[in-house]
Structure 1
């Protein structure tokens, strides 16, 4: 393993994003159709939040009870992305070392971090990306 390998080597560069004004149903659709667990919320190229599948699952009953799809729809209609997202998420730069990233993931309860350079979203890096990196070593 290279000591100072940067996050840019393992991050996902083509990031699926949502806008704060989008519908929560759109977030759910993007999570499902892209088989992802985290979506940065952007205003232009600026990251203003992040929303995860876990955030959505906490709100909905579908995974717990059969026949509750209507309740899930109602909840998603009542709430906005701004109400659910983690605002001002911690970010890392493309030059952050993978070692430093692992320390952040180990100390804090993050599973994904937006990668930002000069205020512009460049990618997203997840704990899964780190595991794949270590498996390749």
Structure 2
């Protein structure tokens, strides 16, 4: 196993983003359609936050009451904006940072994804799943 493996070698490079002006309905659809759990939120080309599936579930009734409450979820999604629900100014890593550095951040914090930013540009995302899969490939 490489001790200095770079984030760029493990991160998802073709990262799906959502604009801060999109709706929570659109975000929820992206989570379902692409089977993902984190979406960086951008304004133009600038990373301004990150939205997680958990953020959506916190404001949703769907998992609690089943499909019969989907109308309630729609109403909540209409009342709130991505800006109100997302994590603002998320912690990030650079593509040249090591997996160890990214893993240390994720292990100490209560989140499971880090946007990868070089300068001001979002270049990817790395998740706990990406790191675990990398380690599994090593054995």
TM-score greater than 0.5 by the shorter chain? yes
Which residue of the partner structure matches residue 51 of structure 2? 51
Match of 2:61 in 1: 61
Q: How far does residue 87 in structure 1 lie from its aligned partner after superposition? A: 0.4
3-state SS, counterpart of residue 125 of structure 1: strand
Quote the Cα distance in structure 2 between the aligned partners of 1:106 and 1:81. Answer: 26
Q: Secondary structure at the match of 1:121?
A: strand
SS of corresponding position for 2:63: coil
Residues 25-68 of structure 1, C-alpha deviations (whole Å, 9 max, x = no match): 00000010000000000012211000000000000001110311
**1:109 Cα deviation after fit:** 1.2
Structure 1 unpaired stretches of 5+: none
| TM-score, L = length of structure 2 | 0.97
The within-5 A match list for 1:20-99 is 20-66=20-66, 67-99=68-100
Give the 3-state SS of the residue equivalent to 1:82 in structure 2.
Answer: helix
Q: 1-side partners of 2:46 and 2:126: how far apart? A: 16
**Would you tell me which structure has more helix in proportion to its own residues?**
2
The total of aligned residue pairs comes to 137
2:110 equivalent in structure 1 = 109
| 1:136 alignment partner in structure 2 | 137
The two structures have a TM-score, normalised by structure 1, of 0.98
Task: Determine the C-alpha separation between the residues in 2 that align with 1:51 and 1:87.
Answer: 9
Moved over 2 A (4+): none
Taking the aligned partners of 2:72 and 2:13, their CA distance within structure 1 comes to 35
Instruction: Give 2:120's aligned residue.
Output: 119
Q: Where does structure 2 lack aligned partners over 5 or more consecutive residues? A: none
